[in-house]
Amino acid sequence: MSTPLIWFYFLFFKFSDQVLSITPQTQEQVDTLRNVSTHYETVLWQPVSNEYISTQVQVHLYVPGNSSVTVKAILQTHGITHKVLLANPNVLTEMQMKNDSTDPRSGSTFYERYHTLEEIYDWINRTAQDNPRTVKAILIGSSYEKRPLYVLKLSFNDRPNRKAMWIDCGIHAREWISPAFCLWFVHHSLSFYQQNSEITRILDSMDVYVLPVMNPDGYKYTWTARRWWRKNRSISKSGFCVGVDLNRNFDVDWVKGSSQNPCEEINCGPFPESEPEAQAVANFLRRHKDTVQLYITIHSYSQMFIFPYSYTFDQAENHNDLLEMVQEAAQRIKRYYRNTYTYGPGAATLYPCSGGSDDWAYKLGIKYSFTFELQDRGEYGFLLPPSHISGACNEALLAVKTIAVKVLEKTQAPANHHTI
C-alpha cells in the first residue's frame, strides 16, 4: 500500500466515529466505564444509563471521532479490552436516511424503508382516507412541541361488545425500527385480512389501536439534529437540559429507580404524566380500559419480550399466562426465522425500573401487557439497515399475532371464531 493510502486508513480509523463493545470484568473497570461515559463526549447505546453498567454486562458505547483517541487510551490504561462493533456508523446512518422512493432500482417497498415524521403523517392520512370503512385516525392529544398524536383504529366489523388491543411505537426517538413496525403491522392487517387466518381471527374479534409515533418531537429531532436522541423535547424548568424519558413518566411507582435530573437519559420528568405524550396515551387508555385487553409497546434493540413487573421483583398475578405467551412467541420465531428472543418479567430479565408504560397499563387492568425489544442484538443496534426491516418486522408480527390469539383463547368463548 502506498504511503498516502496508509495515512488515509490510519486517520480514518483513528478519528472516525465508532461504536465499541466492552464487557467490564471488575468493579474498577465498571467505575472507569461509568466515568468515561459521563465525562467524555460519548453516547451509551446499551445499557441506557451508566448506573446499569455492571461486571459481565456488555456495554455498547458510541464514541465520536474527536474523543476516540482519549477514550481508547483510558480504556487501555485500565486494562479494558474492546471490540469495534461498528467501524463506520456514519455510513449506516446515511443508509437509513436514504429513502429515495423515486428510484425504481432501490427494489424496496415503502414499508422496507425508514420514513421522516412528515412522511408518516402523510401515510396516516392516506391510510385513513383510502380505507374509510375500516380505518379511522383519532387525534388523542399533541406533543410538547404541539405536533398531533394520531392513533389509527382498525375496526373490521361492528359486532357488539368488541374487545380491543393497543400497539404503540416510537416512544424512544432513536429506535427507528419501532415506528417502522407500526406501519408494517397496519399494512399487514389491511392486506391480509381474510387471507391470513391469524390476522383475520384477531381483526374479527378485536379492534386494534395503533399509535405509530408516541414521541414525534424526539423522532423529528433524530432525523434533523441528533440521531441518538431518546427522550421527548420538553424543556426543563431550569431550562438547562431538554427531554423526559416517556417510558419513565407513567404513574407507576414513579421516580424510584429513574432520575429526576433533566440532563439524564432516564429522566422521569417533574411529576407523573407531566409530559403531554404520556398523558395523552394514559387518558386514552383510561377511557378505553373496559375494552382494551392487550397492550404492546414496541422498542429496540436486544430481541426481548418483557412483561410486568419492571418496577418490582414481585410476580404478576397472571405471571404464568404471560410467560407462556412470550415463550410461544419466542419458540415460533426460532422455528420460522431462526432468531433468538429472550423473555421474562422486566425487573428480573432486563433491569428494575419504574414509570414504564407496560407496568402502568397492567395496573390499569390490562392484564396482558408487553414490551417488545426488536432486532437486533447489537450487530447494528439503532442503525439496523433498511434491508433488515422486513425480517425484524415479520418476526415481531408473528409474536404479536401469537400473543393476540392466545389472549383471545383466554378471554373468549371458544365458539366465537371461525377459521379459514
Shortest spacing between CB 347 and ligand 0X9, in angstroms: 8
Give dist(CA 396, CA 229) in Å, integer.
Answer: 24
Q: Identify the burial level of 139 via C-beta atoms within 10 angstroms of its C-beta, where 0-12 means exposed, 13-18 middle and 19 or more buried.
A: exposed
The entry of ligand 0X9, Zn ion, none that residue 395 binds, CB within 5 to 8 Å by partner kind: none
Nearest residue (CB) to ligand 0X9, 17 versus 358: 358
Position of minimal CB gap to ligand 0X9: 356
Choose the contact partner of 178 out of Zn ion, ligand 0X9, none; CB within 5 to 8 A by kind.
Answer: none
Q: Minimum distance between the CB of residue 283 and ligand 0X9, rounded to whole angstroms?
A: 19
Which residues, 6+ apart, have CB-to-CB distance to 30 below 8 Å? 24, 53, 54, 55
CB closer to Zn ion, 115 vs 172: 172
Closest contact distance (angstroms) between CB of 349 and ligand 0X9 is 9
Catalytic residue among 198, 265, 373, 395: 373
- 270-296 b/e with 16+ CB inside 10 Å = b? eebbebbbbbbbbebbeeeeeebbbbb
For residues 174 and 201, which CB has a smaller minimum distance to ligand 0X9 in the complex? 174
* Closest separation in Å from C-beta 299 to ligand 0X9: 3
Taking the complex as a whole, how short is the minimal distance between the CB of residue 134 and Zn ion, in angstroms? 30
Cell of 5: 493510502
Residue 206 contact, options ligand 0X9, Zn ion, none, Cβ 5-8 Å cut-off depending on partner type: none
Peptide bond preceding 160 in cis form (omega within 30 of 0): no
Residues that bind Zn ion (CB under 5 A): 172, 175, 299
Do strands 342-345 and 148-154 pair parallel, antiparallel, or not at all (unpaired)? Answer: unpaired
DSSP string computed for 362-412? HHHT--EEEEEEES-SSSSGGG--GGGHHHHHHHHHHHHHHHHHHHHHHHS
324 within 8 A of 370, measured Cβ to Cβ: no
Q: Which does 174 bind (CB under 5 to 8 A by kind): Zn ion, ligand 0X9, none?
A: none
Q: Which is nearer to Zn ion, 175 or 273 (CB)?
A: 175
Q: Is 198 one of the annotated active-site residues of the chain?
A: no
Nearer to ligand 0X9, 200 or 302 (CB): 302
From 28, 295, 324, select the one nearest 168 (Cα to Cα). 295
- The residues, ordered by sequence, that sit 6+ positions from 275 with a Cβ below 8 Å of its Cβ are 144, 232, 234, 244, 246, 249, 269
Chain residues binding ligand 0X9 by CB under 6 A are 48, 172, 175, 247, 299, 306, 310, 346, 350, 353, 356, 358-359, 371, 373
Give the residue numbers annotated as catalytic, written as ranges.
373
